[in-house]
Structure 1
Amino acid sequence: QELTAYLATSNSIILNWTTGSEINNSHFTILRSSNSTDWDSIGVVKSKFINGNGAGTSYSFTDNLFSSSINYYRLKQVDLDGTISLGNIVSVQVSNLQQRLKLFPNPTKGTINIQNAKIGASYRIISLDGKLITSGIVRNQTQSVDITNVSSGVYFCEIIDISNQKHLLKFIKE
């Protein structure tokens, strides 16, 4: 299994992996480390196949409790007979800006506030299907964006800081 990981929002890292095939697979234990040496178990994902055997499939796990600026992940695959195999190590770096960025209120009825983005950064409100709703430049410590006329649904606020790093925050418009 090949593990991939990415920062989905300022408070969630999503891990994805696929299997080519599964033979006697019981489950996957998700391991996390702040130094790639000392590992903690943070969750278990059971095989999607009742008897542990089947064609390849995809899995996902969301980590909402990470704390350090760099997080390492790996999978421990456990067979029904207890045999263990360890997967590749992946890392996700969380910038200090990403940890401080806030979007509120969420859910919102008409105005969304972007807090702690650097003045001069740009923002874009994007629908789930990738359509640009509105965009602008951050001019205040708390930048208000009027979305009163936007339909109800789930949206992303993409913030592009002055060093061209992109940060994606999800919100709900009621």
Structure 2
Amino acid sequence: MTINIGAYPLPVELTAFTAAVKNQDAQLAWRTASEKNNDHFDVERSFNGTDFAKIGQVKGQGTSSAATDYTLTDAGIGAKATGVVYYRLRQVDADGTENFSPVHSVTFPKVLAPVISLFPNPATAAGTKLDLTALPAGVYQVSVLDAAGRTVLRAALNTGLAHALDLRTVASGSYTLLVRGQNGGQVVNLTKRLIKE
């Protein structure tokens, strides 16, 4: 695709420009078929499709008749985005003349915060169930702490199930339940108040 403004072709023949989601990153890629006096590309981002800000700069080839591939990764933007994220290229010539590419957008899936639940709570003399079905897959370290911060119960539990917690050896009172683990390199650290009757 050659981008034309009016009847005048751009000094850079842009044949492709894509924006794709990979995990929490936006991966931008573009290709030129030829370039004339191309100094650089500014990669610009917008959260509303109107107000763009520069997020990176990639050096151009100057003058070249060979196809050239370019890439830039907008790392971690998925964690900051609340909807659609828009991208465009600002191509700048050696003399400062600028031209803009068409706008491309990406949408990041919403990442729900992991949750745990206990039932019943307050727990009975026999115990309670700890529901780990909403957590990302993995093994989590579960600890029950008393008011002084001492561990009174400890277990390593898999996600995807509601696990029975045997509280027969635990005195009546108020406790803190800690669930810790890793989710793709990020630490999951959840707490819940547990009351034993």
Question: Into which bin does the TM-score normalised by the smaller protein fall?
Answer: 0.5 to 0.7
CA distance in 2, matches of 1:36, 1:92: 11
Q: 1:170 to 1:144 in 2, by over 3 A?
A: closer
What fraction of aligned residue pairs are identical, expressed as a percent? 35
Deviation at residue 139 of structure 1 after TM alignment = 4.8
Contact 1:52/1:80 (<8 A) preserved = no
Q: Pairwise CA RMSD of aligned residues?
A: 2.5
Higher relative contact order (CA 8 A, sep 6+): 1
Deviation >6 Å, runs of 4+: none
Q: 1:53, CA displacement in angstroms?
A: 2.8
Q: 2:39 — aligned with what?
A: 26
Aligned to 1:15: 28
Report Cα offsets for 1:83-137 as digits up to 9, x if no partner.
Answer: 111001000001213xx58xxxxxxxxxxxxx67xxxxxxxxxxxxxxxxxxxxx
Distance 1:141 1:65 in 2: 21
Report the Cα distance in structure 2 between the residues aligned to 1:143 and 1:29, rounded to whole angstroms.
Answer: 39
Which ranges of structure 1 fall in alignment gaps of 5 or more residues? 102-114, 117-137, 146-168
2:70 matched to which residue of 1? 59
Aligned to 1:40: 53
TM alignment of 1:123-142, pairs within 5 A:
139=133, 141-142=135-136
If the length of structure 1 is used for normalisation, what is the TM-score? Answer: 0.55
Q: Which residue of 2 aligns with 1:4?
A: 18
Pair 36,144 (structure 1): closer, same or farther in 2 beyond 3 Å:
same
- Higher strand residue share: 2
- Aligned-partner residue type, residue 135 of structure 2: Q
Q: What TM-score, normalized to structure 2?
A: 0.49
State the Cα deviation string for residues 26-77 of structure 1 (Å, max 9, x = none): 0000000011100100000001x3x433412110000015222210000000
Which SS does the other structure have where 1:23 is aligned?
A: strand
Q: Tell me the SS of whatever aligns to 2:63.
A: coil
Count of residues paired in the alignment: 109
Gapped regions of structure 2 (runs ≥ 5): 1-13, 116-131, 140-182, 186-197
Q: How far did residue 4 of structure 1 move?
A: 0.3
Q: Does 1:89 align with 2:100?
A: no
Matched with 2:84 is: 70
CA–CA separation in structure 2 for the residues paired with 1:52 and 1:26: 9
Separation in structure 2 between the aligned mates of residue 59 and residue 89 of structure 1, nearest angstrom: 16
8 Å CA contact retained: 1:78, 1:85: yes
2: CA distance between counterparts of 1:86 and 1:170?
Answer: 37
AA in 2 matched with 1:6? A
